[in-house]
């Protein structure tokens, strides 16, 4: 009965870990992970707790969460496989697996020791399998260990490649704005010397970058938890800038003058891409109660008129009915602002830093 229990438990641990490695590295999609996403959320909660003990929203501590998560996830995989195979080996100590010299210890620590050096292919040799079945299982574990190490290195490189591209896009958006750093100044930068002709290609490029971010965060949910001290690297800021930009284009610019820009496929694609990025990712990794963020229509109207004033100072033709334009802006922003705010709050950024 003991032997059967150890075998069943060992196979369960090995199978569960194998499924998590497969769903994280070889078939990476948000929501498919068995262990990794839960580990990420738990470790992030721990980092938030520690940061608050050390000082309100200590940004330095939080910035180490992402790299630590990579170490934690790989460590969990290695130790889970080691424990799973140790449970298989434990009943065989003294019979199927014996010491090369002297009596064979039969405690679980010895089984874990044998499993560990087999998994890491160290080949110490003081314990050896004596039958074909245990030799085959030992070879299988060594193959699993080699595969896990290779998969972990591949996963690490893929995560950092995606992270570098995300940061590059975030930095590009940051440098597209002038003082004041709002979307009106960014829109002015897209205007060029005519009727926003350069804007179409840039909006198209932004759409492509947003779609890449969506797929990258679906494939590697751990990216959510790489939090940098600078707010412009945050997903909340990226999504806010893109959605506020397209909302401003559609509600502030005079359709008689800038009609081609308002109806261009690049503008529509940017809006859809930004919405998809924000809503899909928020609903996949955020706790549901974070999505219940308040609306601030009066603040949004005041902000809209500030943006209008900036545009008019630079001789951009705006809608004739500014009050109606403000209404449309508030209605449009109400559809996405709570998502952006939820991501910002969950990642311990100040919302005031995101919208400035």
Tell whether 74 and 204 lie within a shared domain: no
Burial of residue 236, with CB atoms counted within 10 A of its CB: 0-12 exposed, 13-18 middle, 19 or more buried: buried
Would you say residue 168 lies in a domain?
A: no
| Per-residue pLDDT tens digits for 67-92 | 999 999 999 999 999 999 999 999 98
**Residue 34 per-residue DSSP state:** S
Going by pLDDT thresholds of 50, 70 and 90, the confidence category of residue 248 is: very high
Tell whether 81 and 9 lie within a shared domain: yes
Task: Give the residue-averaged pLDDT of 35-44.
Answer: 88
Tell whether 138 and 189 lie within a shared domain: no
In the predicted structure, residue 58 carries a pLDDT above the cut 80:
no
Would you say residue 334 lies in a domain?
A: yes
> Which residue has 């559609």 as its token pair?
250
Average pLDDT, the chain: 87
Buried b (16+ CB within 10 A) or exposed e, 294-327: eebeeebbebbeebbebbeeeebebbeebeebbe
User: From CA 260, how far away is CA 117, in angstroms rounded?
Assistant: 66
Beta strands in the chain (DSSP E): 97-99, 127-129
Going by pLDDT thresholds of 50, 70 and 90, the confidence category of residue 282 is: confident
Of 250, 9, 208, 247, residue with least CA distance to 108: 9
User: From CA 331, how far away is CA 334, in angstroms rounded?
Assistant: 5
At residue 129, the 3 state secondary structure works out as: strand
Would you say residue 84 lies in a domain?
A: yes
| Per-residue pLDDT tens digits for 162-195 | 999 999 999 988 888 765 568 888 888 887 766 7
Please give the residue range of the domain that contains residue 6: 2-152
Helix intervals (H) in 55-131? 59-62, 65-89, 108-119
Would you say residue 316 lies in a domain?
A: yes
Tell whether 187 and 146 lie within a shared domain: no
Tell whether 130 and 234 lie within a shared domain: no
Tell whether 133 and 204 lie within a shared domain: no
- Establish how many alpha carbons lie within 13 A of residue 95's alpha carbon, considering only the half-sphere containing its beta carbon: 7
pLDDT of residue 38: 86
Domain count, the chain: 2
């Amino acid at each position: 009965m003991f032997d059967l229990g150890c075998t069943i438990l060992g196979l369960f641990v090995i199978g569960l870990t194998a499924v998590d490695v497969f769903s994280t590295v070889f078939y990476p999609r948000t929501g498919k992970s068995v262990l990794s996403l839960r580990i990420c959320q738990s470790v992030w909660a721990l980092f938030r707790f520690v940061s608050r003990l050390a000082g309100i929203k200590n940004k330095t501590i939080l910035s180490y969460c992402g790299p630590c998560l990579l170490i934690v996830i790989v460590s969990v995989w290695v130790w889970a496989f080691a424990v799973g195979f140790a449970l298989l080996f434990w009943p065989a100590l003294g019979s199927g697996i014996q010491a090369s010299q002297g009596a064979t210890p039969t405690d679980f620590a010895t089984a874990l020791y044998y499993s560990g050096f087999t998994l890491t292919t160290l080949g110490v040799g003081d314990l050896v399998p004596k039958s074909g079945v245990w030799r085959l299982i030992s070879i299988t574990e060594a193959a699993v260990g080699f595969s896990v190490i290779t998969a972990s290195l591949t996963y690490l490189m893929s995560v950092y490649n995606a992270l570098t591209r995300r940061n590059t896009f975030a930095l590009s958006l940051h440098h597209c704005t002038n003082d004041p750093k709002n979307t009106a100044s960014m829109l002015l930068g897209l205007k060029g010397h005519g009727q926003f002709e350069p804007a179409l290609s840039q909006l198209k490029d932004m759409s492509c970058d947003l779609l890449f971010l969506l797929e990258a965060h679906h494939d590697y949910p751990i990216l959510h938890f790489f939090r940098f001290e600078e707010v412009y690297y945050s997903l909340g800021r990226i999504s806010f800038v893109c959605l506020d930009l397209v909302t401003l284009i559609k509600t502030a610019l005079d359709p008689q003058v800038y009609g081609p820009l308002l109806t261009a496929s690049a503008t529509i694609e940017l809006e859809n891409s930004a919405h998809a990025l924000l809503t899909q990712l928020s609903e996949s990794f955020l706790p549901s109660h974070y999505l219940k963020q308040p609306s601030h229509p009066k603040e949004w109207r005041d902000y809209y008129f500030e943006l209008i004033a900036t545009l008019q100072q630079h001789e951009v033709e705006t809608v004739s009915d500014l009050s109606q334009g403000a209404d449309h802006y508030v209605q449009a922003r109400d559809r996405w602002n709570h998502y952006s705010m939820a991501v910002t709050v969950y990642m311990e950024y100040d919302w005031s830093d995101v919208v400035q």
